[in-house]
């Protein structure tokens, strides 16, 4: 059986892969998108749905801004809006130390193209009367918002397919190697695919692929702890998050238009990339209850109807891998988005398509280069002991 050929093979049909396939088609490149299960089924489909820029690693803001512009244009671009709502995002804090963090961030973010509005206790109460008394100040990002993660990646994949991309679900990659100028990718079913360019958008599984090309990365797999309540009349407009030094305090919530309140955050749970399993832990949910009640007391009157988790890849420095391979020409990476990739999805697709098409990008992505984890001999990186190469700000 001869190999199917294209300009680019995208490995991994999450949000990054689906969006990349779409934008590559827009640039006239032929694309084969390979997905082990169903498009957007893993972390892309089960995350919180935050379309949030504030609080991100500052050098990531240009990418986030580019992505935000695409979010606002989804209906025209792909024919559906994935329930994106630019409701604003309010990030509150519980003490003065964190207020200083919010203030510094707002001052710095301005230089990166993100305008934030700082609200003191009274202004915060006036604008968002549903917040609990512990919230002493907040930073409001008026153009951020939220969307439905179950819909976004599949919508991009369908749009890519309409544009002519070959979207192949139920096809796990077994072999991948470069032969001459082309890569040959073999599926577990024995089908073969050939292209001069491979883009790895394999999320929590991306590290296993980069390692095969001598570029191991210190990637850990974790599961976010998510829950949703029964539906009640729509009353909480913005997405609400907490700025805190304590993991347990960093919860977030949003209400969807039809009334359910989605929440998550706090400590993450165990997940296994090998077994395709992630766990929503009962104790974590109970701990979240205390924090959610503190953040928006009215939510404590509701009932939770469902909990879930997902398999997310985290690099030790909490920022993703993005860009060209430093060892193999024609190989590109965009994976390991450390639990904050949903907002970036459309932008990552656009930027990776630009990079593959033009060899360079108008949006800086150097901080995310895999080079930061390069070892002299390509020896494996241990996520537990790897040194963090640069000062980063947890989102």
Partner 1 sequence: MADAKIVIVGAGPAGVRAAEAVVTAGLTPWLIDEGRRDGGQIFRRQPEGFRRSYAELYGGEAERAAALHRAFESLADRIDYRPETLAWNLRDGVLHTAKCGLSDALPFDALIIASGAADRLMPLPGWTLPGVYSLGGAQIALKAQAAAIGRKVAFLGTGPLLYLVASQYLAAGAGVSAVLDSSPRRLGLRALPELLARPRLMARGLAMIAGLRRAGVEIRTGVTPRRIDGDEEGVSGLTVALANGRKRTIDCDAVAMGYHLRPEMQLADLARCSFRFDAASRQWLPEVDDNGRSSVEGIYLAGDGSEVLGAEAAEIGGRLAALTALHDLGEAVPPGELSRLRRKQARMRRFARGLAKAYPWPHTSAAGLADETILCRCEAVTVGELRRSVGDLGAGELNRAKAFSRVGMGRCQGRYCGHAAGEVMAAASGLPLEQVGRLRGQAPVKPLPIVKAVEPA
Taking the least distance from each CB to partner 1, the nearer of 125 and 150 is: 150
Nearest approach, Cβ of residue 80 and partner 1 (Å): 10
Taking the least distance from each CB to partner 1, the nearer of 180 and 282 is: 282
Nearest approach, Cβ of residue 96 and partner 1 (Å): 29
3-state secondary structure of 229: strand
Taking the least distance from each CB to partner 1, the nearer of 32 and 153 is: 153
For 89, residues 6+ apart whose C-beta sits below 8 A from its C-beta are 50, 52, 53, 54, 140, 141, 144, 145, 238, 239, 240, 241
Please give the residue ranges that form the binding site for partner 1 (CB under 8 A): 38, 41, 45, 150-151, 154, 158, 230-231, 258, 279-283, 285-287, 289-290, 292-293, 299-308
**DSSP state, residue 214:** T
Q: What is the DSSP annotation of 156-201?
A: HHHHHHHTT-EEE-S--EEEEEEETTEEEEEETT--EEEESEEEE-
Nearest approach, Cβ of residue 164 and partner 1 (Å): 17
Nearest approach, Cβ of residue 79 and partner 1 (Å): 11
Nearest approach, Cβ of residue 357 and partner 1 (Å): 28
3-state secondary structure of 223: strand
**DSSP state, residue 85:** B
Taking the least distance from each CB to partner 1, the nearer of 54 and 288 is: 288
> What is the four-CA torsion angle of 214, 203, 61, 153, rounded to 10 degrees?
140
Q: Helix axis angle, 345-358 relative to 15-26, nearest 10°?
A: 50
Nearest approach, Cβ of residue 263 and partner 1 (Å): 10
Q: How many residues does the chain have?
A: 395
Taking the least distance from each CB to partner 1, the nearer of 118 and 304 is: 304
Tell me how far apart the alpha carbons of residues 164 and 142 are, in angstroms, rounded to a whole number: 36
Taking the least distance from each CB to partner 1, the nearer of 107 and 305 is: 305
Taking the least distance from each CB to partner 1, the nearer of 61 and 292 is: 292
Nearest approach, Cβ of residue 63 and partner 1 (Å): 27
For 301, residues 6+ apart whose C-beta sits below 8 A from its C-beta are none
């Amino acid at each position: 059986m001869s190999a199917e050929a294209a300009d680019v093979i995208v490995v991994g049909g999450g949000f990054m892969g689906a969006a990349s396939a779409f934008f590559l088609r827009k640039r006239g490149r032929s694309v084969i998108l390979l997905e082990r299960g169903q498009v957007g089924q893993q972390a892309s489909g089960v995350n919180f749905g935050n379309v949030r820029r504030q609080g991100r690693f500052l050098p990531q803001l240009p990418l986030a801004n580019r992505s935000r512009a695409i979010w606002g244009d989804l209906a025209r671009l792909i024919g559906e809006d994935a329930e994106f709502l630019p409701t604003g995002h309010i990030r509150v804090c519980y003490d003065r130390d964190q207020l200083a963090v919010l203030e510094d961030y707002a001052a710095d973010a301005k230089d990166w193209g993100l305008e934030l509005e700082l609200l003191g206790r009274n202004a915060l109460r006036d604008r968002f009367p549903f917040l609990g008394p512990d919230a002493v100040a907040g930073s409001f990002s008026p153009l951020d918002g939220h969307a439905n993660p179950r819909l976004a990646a599949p919508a991009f994949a369908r749009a890519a397919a309409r544009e002519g991309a070959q979207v192949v679900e139920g096809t796990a990659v077994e072999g991948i190697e470069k032969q001459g100028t082309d890569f040959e990718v073999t599926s577990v079913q024995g089908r073969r695919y050939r292209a001069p360019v491979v883009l790895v958008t394999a999320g929590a599984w991306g590290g296993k692929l980069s390692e095969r090309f001598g570029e191991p990365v210190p990637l850990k797999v974790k599961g976010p702890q998510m829950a949703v309540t029964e539906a009640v009349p729509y009353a909480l407009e913005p997405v609400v998050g907490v700025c805190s030094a304590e993991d347990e305090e960093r919860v977030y919530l949003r209400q969807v238009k039809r009334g359910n309140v989605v929440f998550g955050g706090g400590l993450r749970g165990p997940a296994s990339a090998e077994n395709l399993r992630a766990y929503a832990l009962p104790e974590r949910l109970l701990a979240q209850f205390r924090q959610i009640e503190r953040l928006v007391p009215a939510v404590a009157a509701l009932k939770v109807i469902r909990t879930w988790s997902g398999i997310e890849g985290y690099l030790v420095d909490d920022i993703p891998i993005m860009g060209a391979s430093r060892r193999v020409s024609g190989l590109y990476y965009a994976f390991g988005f450390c639990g904050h990739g949903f907002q970036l999805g459309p932008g990552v697709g656009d930027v990776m398509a630009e990079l593959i098409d033009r060899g360079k990008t108008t949006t800086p992505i150097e901080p995310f280069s895999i080079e930061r984890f390069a070892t002299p001999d390509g020896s494996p990186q241990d996520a537990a002991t790897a040194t963090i190469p640069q000062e980063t700000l947890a989102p």
